[in-house]
Structure formats: structure tokens, C-alpha cells
Amino acid sequence: EYVAAGKIVPTELDMFDASDDRIGPCVHSVNNQLIMPVTARAGGMSWALMLHPEGLECDLFVTHAWSEGIYEFIDKVLNSWPRAARHAYCCMLSNPQNLDIGGLISSPSISPLAVALRTSAYMLVVPTCRCSIYSRIWCSYEAFLAYSESKLILTASAPMFGDGRWLLQITMTMVFVTIVSAVVAAQLELDE
């Protein structure tokens, strides 16, 4: 809705197609044009704390490259969300984007992301069509930390052909063809 309303627009660094509803603007654009202004007006906290001032326990740690389109990101996260997970840590929403984040991550092993990762049961890696997630040093560090902490590491994937009804249609068609084939074969045997 923000793209359609012209509140998130293409930039020199992100020339996304506003009519594209599959990939969308990159996370950098969403952060600069939506997350930062909204959280600044609310007092400068993170998006997560703006919505849940008391905080939430982290079950799922989401790692991503920031260059992915926001629609691509959302589709993959929602499609791959572990059933047992209730709350997620995602840096774009969990870190206060209007602060000097460099201070928060100057000691990686005790940074907010490391603390969140240690409390989570799962790590969800969100790959993108734009680059390797591991071209970002932080994503590589997060993978190392998750592996070191014996976290279940999952790779997010997009829904196959939309909402999945196609799979049910194909399955039902195959079942129907199998039944018809069996009936025809049985009839041919009886005719012999």
C-alpha cells in the first residue's frame, strides 16, 4: 500500500518497478522511506518495540541481506515460518534504525543480534535473487554463531506458484487418472 500510494518510491540505488508485486522495493528503501521516519516520529525506538513496548521472547532469528525486495522477503518468511515459532528477531525491525547501530554491534558476540540468536530455537536464512546472503559479513557471522550454538538452521523459500492450490489440483488430477486407469485396466482384463 505504501508503494501504491507513492510513499515508497524508486531511488537511484533501488530502481524497483512500482507495479511489481513479486519482488518489490529492497529492504534498504523500506527502511529509509518507512521504518526510519515512522519510528523517529514515535520516539526513535525499533519498530518491534514501538509495537510491543514490553518486548517479546525470540523463538526465530531471521537473517537476510537487505538487498532483497520486501515482497520477496515477506513471502519467503511467511511460507517458511516454523510452526512452533511465535516471535521473530529481524534486524530491520528489532534494531532502532535511527540510532548509531555501530555502537550496538561493536562487540559482535554480545550484540543484540547475538543475544537474540542465542535465545532463539531457529534461524531462518532468507536468500534473495539479487545477491548471495553470505556476501554480507554479518550474515556469515550469524550463520557461524547459529551453527556454533547448535541452532536449527532453515532456508526460507517462496511459495510455489502462489498459494499452493495448484499442488492440490495436480494431486487430485493424478489420483483421478490413476483410478480411471485402474478401472479401465480391470475392465480390459474382464473382457479377455
Phi-psi region of 35 (alpha: psi -120 to 50; beta: other; left: phi over 0): alpha
Confidence (pTM): 0.81
Residue 72's alpha-carbon distances to 14, 62, 81, 149, in angstroms, are 15, 14, 14, 28
Q: How far apart are the C-alpha atoms of 76 and 127, rounded to whole Å?
A: 9
pLDDT bin (cut points 50, 70, 90) of residue 141 is very high
Average pLDDT across the chain, whole number: 90
Q: How far apart are the C-alpha atoms of 60 and 142, rounded to whole Å?
A: 13
DSSP code, position 22:
S
pLDDT bin (cut points 50, 70, 90) of residue 129 is confident
**What digits encode the pLDDT tens for the residues 64-90?**
999 999 999 999 999 999 999 999 999
How many other β-carbons are positioned within 10 Å of the β-carbon of residue 45? 16
Please answer whether residues 26 and 14 qualify as being in contact, where contact means their C-beta atoms are separated by less than 8 angstroms.
yes
Residue 7: φ, ψ to 5°: -85, -20
Which is more confidently placed, 176 or 34? Answer: 34
**What digits encode the pLDDT tens for the residues 91-113?**
999 999 999 888 888 899 999 99
Joined together, the cell numbers standing for residue 160 give 510455489
Which is more confidently placed, 60 or 188? Answer: 60
